[in-house]
Amino acid sequence: MVTIEVDSLTYNYDSRAVLDAVSLSVGKGEIVGVLGPNGCGKTTLLKNLNRNLSPHGGCVLADGSDLEAMSKREIARKIAVVPQTNEIRFSFTVEDIVKMGRMPFQESFRGESSEDMRIVRDAMERTGLTPLAKRYINTMSGGERQRAILARALAQSPEVILMDEPTLHLDVNMQFEVLDLIRDLSRERSLTVVIVSHDLPMAARYCDRVVLIHGHRVLAAGPPEEVLTAENMRKVFKVDAELEDDPRGGRKTVRLFGACRD
Protein backbone atom coordinates (compact mmCIF):
# COMPACT_ATOMS: atom_id res chain seq x y z
CA MET A 1 0.00 0.00 0.00
CA VAL A 2 1.04 3.57 -0.70
CA THR A 3 2.23 6.36 1.58
CA ILE A 4 1.43 9.91 0.44
CA GLU A 5 3.78 12.78 1.28
CA VAL A 6 2.95 16.41 0.51
CA ASP A 7 5.98 18.67 0.81
CA SER A 8 5.58 22.48 0.85
CA LEU A 9 2.81 22.33 -1.76
CA THR A 10 1.85 25.71 -3.23
CA TYR A 11 -0.90 26.30 -5.77
CA ASN A 12 -2.10 29.63 -7.16
CA TYR A 13 -5.14 30.84 -9.05
CA ASP A 14 -4.37 34.07 -10.93
CA SER A 15 -1.32 34.69 -8.71
CA ARG A 16 -3.44 34.25 -5.56
CA ALA A 17 -2.20 31.47 -3.28
CA VAL A 18 -4.92 28.90 -2.62
CA LEU A 19 -2.45 26.51 -0.99
CA ASP A 20 0.54 28.09 0.71
CA ALA A 21 3.42 25.73 1.53
CA VAL A 22 1.12 22.91 2.70
CA SER A 23 2.87 19.83 4.07
CA LEU A 24 1.24 16.64 5.34
CA SER A 25 1.63 12.87 5.27
CA VAL A 26 -0.79 9.97 5.01
CA GLY A 27 0.44 6.56 6.13
CA LYS A 28 -0.42 3.19 4.64
CA GLY A 29 -3.85 2.04 5.74
CA GLU A 30 -4.62 5.37 7.40
CA ILE A 31 -7.79 7.45 7.08
CA VAL A 32 -6.94 11.14 7.13
CA GLY A 33 -9.52 13.92 7.00
CA VAL A 34 -8.61 17.28 5.48
CA LEU A 35 -10.94 19.80 7.07
CA GLY A 36 -11.62 23.46 6.54
CA PRO A 37 -14.29 25.95 5.46
CA ASN A 38 -15.34 26.49 1.85
CA GLY A 39 -12.65 28.22 -0.20
CA CYS A 40 -9.71 27.17 1.97
CA GLY A 41 -8.15 24.99 -0.76
CA LYS A 42 -9.30 21.49 0.25
CA THR A 43 -10.49 20.41 -3.20
CA THR A 44 -7.46 21.99 -4.87
CA LEU A 45 -5.27 19.93 -2.54
CA LEU A 46 -7.14 16.76 -3.47
CA LYS A 47 -6.70 17.47 -7.19
CA ASN A 48 -2.96 17.81 -6.65
CA LEU A 49 -2.91 14.41 -4.92
CA ASN A 50 -3.74 12.60 -8.17
CA ARG A 51 -2.11 15.11 -10.56
CA ASN A 52 -5.32 16.54 -11.95
CA LEU A 53 -3.51 19.75 -11.02
CA SER A 54 0.25 20.25 -10.84
CA PRO A 55 1.85 22.21 -7.99
CA HIS A 56 3.35 25.65 -8.55
CA GLY A 57 5.75 24.84 -5.74
CA GLY A 58 6.63 21.80 -3.67
CA CYS A 59 5.69 18.26 -4.60
CA VAL A 60 3.47 15.24 -3.94
CA LEU A 61 5.18 11.87 -3.44
CA ALA A 62 3.63 8.39 -3.60
CA ASP A 63 5.96 5.96 -1.86
CA GLY A 64 8.82 8.37 -2.55
CA SER A 65 8.02 8.84 -6.26
CA ASP A 66 7.05 12.32 -7.47
CA LEU A 67 3.62 12.21 -9.14
CA GLU A 68 4.97 14.60 -11.79
CA ALA A 69 7.28 11.82 -12.99
CA MET A 70 4.46 9.25 -13.23
CA SER A 71 2.08 8.66 -16.14
CA LYS A 72 -1.64 9.10 -15.69
CA ARG A 73 -2.06 5.35 -16.18
CA GLU A 74 0.45 4.59 -13.43
CA ILE A 75 -1.33 6.98 -11.08
CA ALA A 76 -4.75 5.50 -11.91
CA ARG A 77 -3.48 2.03 -11.00
CA LYS A 78 -2.68 3.26 -7.51
CA ILE A 79 -5.04 6.15 -6.77
CA ALA A 80 -8.83 6.32 -7.20
CA VAL A 81 -11.00 9.41 -6.76
CA VAL A 82 -14.57 9.91 -5.58
CA PRO A 83 -15.31 13.51 -6.65
CA GLN A 84 -17.82 15.86 -5.08
CA THR A 85 -19.90 16.21 -8.25
CA ASN A 86 -21.50 13.09 -9.73
CA GLU A 87 -23.40 14.51 -12.69
CA ILE A 88 -23.28 12.03 -15.59
CA ARG A 89 -25.16 13.10 -18.72
CA PHE A 90 -24.78 9.99 -20.85
CA SER A 91 -26.96 6.89 -20.66
CA PHE A 92 -24.51 4.44 -19.10
CA THR A 93 -25.77 1.64 -16.91
CA VAL A 94 -24.46 1.29 -13.37
CA GLU A 95 -22.45 -1.73 -14.50
CA ASP A 96 -20.94 0.31 -17.35
CA ILE A 97 -19.84 3.00 -14.90
CA VAL A 98 -18.27 0.51 -12.51
CA LYS A 99 -16.46 -1.30 -15.37
CA MET A 100 -14.73 2.00 -16.19
CA GLY A 101 -12.71 1.46 -13.02
CA ARG A 102 -10.88 -1.42 -14.76
CA MET A 103 -9.70 0.67 -17.72
CA PRO A 104 -6.20 1.45 -16.33
CA PHE A 105 -5.50 -2.30 -16.27
CA GLN A 106 -6.76 -3.19 -19.75
CA GLU A 107 -4.95 -3.36 -23.06
CA SER A 108 -6.30 -1.17 -25.87
CA PHE A 109 -9.39 -2.51 -27.65
CA ARG A 110 -9.72 -5.49 -25.33
CA GLY A 111 -12.79 -6.09 -23.22
CA GLU A 112 -13.03 -7.05 -19.58
CA SER A 113 -11.47 -10.30 -18.46
CA SER A 114 -13.20 -12.72 -16.11
CA GLU A 115 -11.06 -11.29 -13.30
CA ASP A 116 -12.13 -7.75 -14.22
CA MET A 117 -15.79 -8.78 -14.04
CA ARG A 118 -15.26 -10.51 -10.69
CA ILE A 119 -13.83 -7.26 -9.31
CA VAL A 120 -16.70 -5.25 -10.82
CA ARG A 121 -19.32 -7.54 -9.31
CA ASP A 122 -17.61 -7.38 -5.92
CA ALA A 123 -17.53 -3.57 -6.04
CA MET A 124 -21.25 -3.42 -6.83
CA GLU A 125 -22.03 -5.94 -4.09
CA ARG A 126 -20.01 -3.98 -1.49
CA THR A 127 -21.88 -0.78 -2.35
CA GLY A 128 -25.35 -2.35 -2.52
CA LEU A 129 -25.71 -1.78 -6.27
CA THR A 130 -26.10 -5.34 -7.57
CA PRO A 131 -29.91 -5.03 -7.97
CA LEU A 132 -29.38 -1.76 -9.89
CA ALA A 133 -26.67 -3.02 -12.26
CA LYS A 134 -28.75 -2.48 -15.43
CA ARG A 135 -30.28 0.85 -14.38
CA TYR A 136 -29.26 3.89 -16.37
CA ILE A 137 -27.17 6.23 -14.26
CA ASN A 138 -28.90 9.41 -15.49
CA THR A 139 -32.25 8.15 -14.15
CA MET A 140 -30.98 7.63 -10.61
CA SER A 141 -30.98 9.78 -7.50
CA GLY A 142 -27.91 11.72 -6.40
CA GLY A 143 -27.24 9.22 -3.63
CA GLU A 144 -27.45 6.24 -5.99
CA ARG A 145 -25.11 7.94 -8.45
CA GLN A 146 -22.66 8.64 -5.64
CA ARG A 147 -22.61 4.97 -4.72
CA ALA A 148 -21.95 4.09 -8.37
CA ILE A 149 -18.99 6.49 -8.44
CA LEU A 150 -17.69 4.90 -5.23
CA ALA A 151 -18.09 1.42 -6.77
CA ARG A 152 -16.13 2.59 -9.84
CA ALA A 153 -13.34 3.73 -7.53
CA LEU A 154 -13.33 0.40 -5.68
CA ALA A 155 -13.18 -1.44 -9.02
CA GLN A 156 -9.81 0.23 -9.65
CA SER A 157 -8.47 -1.94 -6.80
CA PRO A 158 -6.73 1.19 -5.54
CA GLU A 159 -4.07 1.49 -2.91
CA VAL A 160 -5.19 5.06 -2.21
CA ILE A 161 -8.70 6.50 -2.43
CA LEU A 162 -9.34 10.26 -2.44
CA MET A 163 -12.84 11.40 -1.45
CA ASP A 164 -14.22 14.93 -1.86
CA GLU A 165 -17.23 15.48 0.43
CA PRO A 166 -18.24 11.82 0.00
CA THR A 167 -21.51 12.05 1.94
CA LEU A 168 -22.80 15.23 0.28
CA HIS A 169 -25.54 13.56 -1.79
CA LEU A 170 -26.37 10.68 0.54
CA ASP A 171 -29.28 10.09 2.91
CA VAL A 172 -28.25 10.00 6.56
CA ASN A 173 -28.36 6.20 6.87
CA MET A 174 -26.35 5.80 3.65
CA GLN A 175 -23.72 8.24 4.94
CA PHE A 176 -22.97 5.83 7.78
CA GLU A 177 -23.07 2.78 5.48
CA VAL A 178 -20.60 4.30 2.99
CA LEU A 179 -18.19 5.50 5.66
CA ASP A 180 -18.42 2.21 7.56
CA LEU A 181 -17.53 0.48 4.28
CA ILE A 182 -14.55 2.77 3.70
CA ARG A 183 -13.30 2.19 7.25
CA ASP A 184 -13.71 -1.59 6.87
CA LEU A 185 -11.84 -1.60 3.54
CA SER A 186 -9.07 0.49 5.05
CA ARG A 187 -8.65 -2.10 7.80
CA GLU A 188 -9.06 -5.17 5.57
CA ARG A 189 -6.85 -4.06 2.67
CA SER A 190 -4.61 -1.44 4.30
CA LEU A 191 -6.33 1.04 1.98
CA THR A 192 -5.00 4.58 2.37
CA VAL A 193 -7.86 7.12 2.44
CA VAL A 194 -7.93 10.91 2.25
CA ILE A 195 -11.32 12.51 2.90
CA VAL A 196 -11.86 16.21 2.20
CA SER A 197 -14.79 17.56 4.19
CA HIS A 198 -16.19 20.20 6.49
CA ASP A 199 -18.24 17.60 8.38
CA LEU A 200 -16.72 17.74 11.86
CA PRO A 201 -18.70 14.87 13.47
CA MET A 202 -17.84 12.59 10.54
CA ALA A 203 -14.14 13.36 10.80
CA ALA A 204 -14.09 12.77 14.55
CA ARG A 205 -15.85 9.43 14.14
CA TYR A 206 -13.99 7.93 11.19
CA CYS A 207 -10.58 9.57 10.76
CA ASP A 208 -7.38 8.34 12.37
CA ARG A 209 -5.90 11.80 11.93
CA VAL A 210 -7.19 15.15 10.74
CA VAL A 211 -5.48 18.07 9.01
CA LEU A 212 -7.04 21.48 9.65
CA ILE A 213 -6.61 24.06 6.87
CA HIS A 214 -6.90 27.74 7.77
CA GLY A 215 -5.73 30.72 5.77
CA HIS A 216 -4.60 28.31 3.00
CA ARG A 217 -2.05 26.75 5.38
CA VAL A 218 -2.04 23.80 7.77
CA LEU A 219 -3.13 25.10 11.16
CA ALA A 220 -2.95 21.75 12.96
CA ALA A 221 -2.54 18.05 12.19
CA GLY A 222 -2.86 14.99 14.38
CA PRO A 223 -5.44 12.76 16.08
CA PRO A 224 -8.94 14.28 16.29
CA GLU A 225 -8.71 14.73 20.05
CA GLU A 226 -5.62 16.92 19.60
CA VAL A 227 -6.78 18.94 16.60
CA LEU A 228 -10.53 19.38 17.04
CA THR A 229 -10.28 21.55 20.11
CA ALA A 230 -12.99 24.08 20.92
CA GLU A 231 -10.49 26.85 20.18
CA ASN A 232 -9.50 25.48 16.76
CA MET A 233 -13.11 24.86 15.70
CA ARG A 234 -14.05 28.38 16.76
CA LYS A 235 -11.11 29.86 14.87
CA VAL A 236 -11.54 27.90 11.63
CA PHE A 237 -15.29 27.26 11.39
CA LYS A 238 -16.70 30.10 13.53
CA VAL A 239 -18.76 27.67 15.59
CA ASP A 240 -19.06 26.82 19.26
CA ALA A 241 -18.39 23.09 19.41
CA GLU A 242 -16.85 20.43 21.61
CA LEU A 243 -15.25 17.06 20.92
CA GLU A 244 -16.70 14.40 23.17
CA ASP A 245 -16.91 10.62 23.57
CA ASP A 246 -19.80 8.76 21.99
CA PRO A 247 -20.74 6.26 24.72
CA ARG A 248 -22.56 3.98 22.27
CA GLY A 249 -19.56 3.14 20.12
CA GLY A 250 -16.45 4.15 22.00
CA ARG A 251 -15.70 6.73 19.31
CA LYS A 252 -15.41 10.48 19.26
CA THR A 253 -18.02 12.90 17.99
CA VAL A 254 -18.37 16.67 17.76
CA ARG A 255 -21.30 18.40 19.38
CA LEU A 256 -22.22 21.65 17.64
CA PHE A 257 -23.86 24.37 19.72
CA GLY A 258 -24.18 27.14 17.15
CA ALA A 259 -22.39 30.03 15.49
CA CYS A 260 -19.83 31.98 17.49
CA ARG A 261 -21.12 35.24 18.89
CA ASP A 262 -17.70 36.86 19.32
| pLDDT value of position 86 | 65
Strands lying side by side in the sheet with 192-197: 79-82, 160-164, 192-197, 31-35, 209-214, 217-222
Give Dmax over CA atoms of the chain in angstroms: 62
**pLDDT tens per residue, the chain (262 residues)?**
578 999 999 999 988 889 999 999 999 999 999 999 988 999 999 999 999 999 999 999 999 999 999 999 999 999 999 988 766 777 899 999 999 999 999 876 677 889 999 999 999 999 999 999 999 998 888 788 888 999 999 999 999 999 999 888 788 888 888 899 899 989 988 999 999 998 999 999 999 999 999 999 999 999 999 999 999 999 999 999 999 988 777 788 899 999 987 6
Cα four-point dihedral sign 234, 237, 238, 241: negative
Element (H, E) at 176: helix 172-189
Residue 104 pairs in a beta bridge with: none
DSSP 8-state assignment for residue 114? H
| pLDDT for residue 169 | 76
Pseudo-torsion of CA 142, 158, 163, 133, nearest 10°? Answer: 10
Domain boundaries, the chain: 86-157
pLDDT at res. 231 = 95
Are the C-beta atoms of 213 and 43 separated by less than 8 Å? no
Helix (H, G, I), strand (E, B) or coil at 222: strand
